[in-house]
Amino acid sequence: FARQQVAERLRTAEESLPSGATPEMGPIATGLGEVYMWTVRLAHRPEDKHAPGAPGIQPDGSYITPEGERLTSQADQATYLRTVQDWIVTPLLKNTGGLAGIDAIGGYVKQYQVVPDVQRLAALRLSLNDLATALEENNTGVGAGVVDRNGEGLAVRSDARIADASELARTVVATREGVPILLSQVATVKTGQAIRMGSASENGREVVVGTAVMRIGENSRSVASAVSDRLGEINASLPTDVIVQPVLDRTALVNSTIKTVAKNLSEGALLVVVVLFLLLGNFRAALIAALVIPVTMLLTSFGMLRGGVSANLMSLGALDFGLIVDGAVIIVENTLRRMAERQHAQGRVLDLEERLSVVAGAAREMIRPSVFGQAIIILVYI
């Protein structure tokens, strides 16, 4: 609805734009937005206990719908599964936050097909337009106003939508001398399938596949988790022996990626500490230089949180601990050298005040080249 409103405003604003400027809305999703996929299939659930002849999977492999229709062929069952996907799963899932839409493939889209008897129509002086108009006018749902009762407003709705093929066949197309002409008298009404452009199968058996498409800018982990929770609730409300089975969950991939990144970061930090210890030859100096790593991670996380940047493989993979501790290593190494020279010159261990003075002087000496070095690294990343 929001995109429709924006599109209408864009058409209005286009008149005020310079010649050749054509505003267009960007896509609401990308090819990487498929965060969750599932199949709708027939499978016996332990909680769905039913006797033969009751709705559900039958011993002979057929399926009886809650409406009592027996589906014996694989095509009929695939059509029913697609109907469940389009009219139960999709509407209940659309209100999940972060979704741009729900795609479905596989099965057959159910249709009520009307095959006109042209000769019969001509005999009754009816055209195909008359037939189409009658079908349209007899398949509507409108509001009938509000009834005020004891201070409460009760909405009245007139639902004239056709429920099944038999009801469609009883549609009044026209009247002749007060006698109604039914659709079944001038056409053949049957249940069929729309022409499809693709199919989906699993282990050689046709299934219906649904895909949740995430909006641009949303967190794939959060959206996939919300879809998974919602599908769990929907599963409980599906017809007997109809289940929704997840086949692709982006949450598992994201969790695995984050775990891999955390492992690599931990190993990298440990390796930096070991190398610093080996090069500096002083455990405390190496530890001081290594403290830059958690401080940097804390500041980075804060900046990512404030900037709305998610923790993913690209953002965390840009961290280079070798570059992070570069400035700290320079200052610590210079401080150790200055302290060693001072102690050697005085021939004794320096007291606290002298050590602090040496540390401050060594830091002032190296802070300018260290800052310039870090600034160059930042500019390279930008």
Q: According to the model, what pLDDT value does residue 45 have?
A: 76
Flag residues of the chain having pLDDT under 70: 1, 25-27, 31, 143-144, 311-323
Q: According to the model, what pLDDT value does residue 312 have?
A: 62
Q: According to the model, what pLDDT value does residue 322 have?
A: 63
111-192: which CATH topology?
3.30.2090
Q: According to the model, what pLDDT value does residue 315 have?
A: 67
Give the C-alpha distances (Å, rounded to integers) separating 87 from 48, 81, 91, 229.
21, 10, 6, 19
Which residues in the chain are classed under CATH 3.30.2090.10?
A: 111-192
Q: According to the model, what pLDDT value does residue 367 have?
A: 86
Which residues in the chain are classed under CATH 1.20.1640.10?
A: 253-381
Q: According to the model, what pLDDT value does residue 91 have?
A: 93
Q: Which CATH class is domain 253-381?
A: mainly alpha
How far is residue 121 CA from its own chain's centroid?
50
How many CB atoms neighbour CB 33 within 10 A? 22
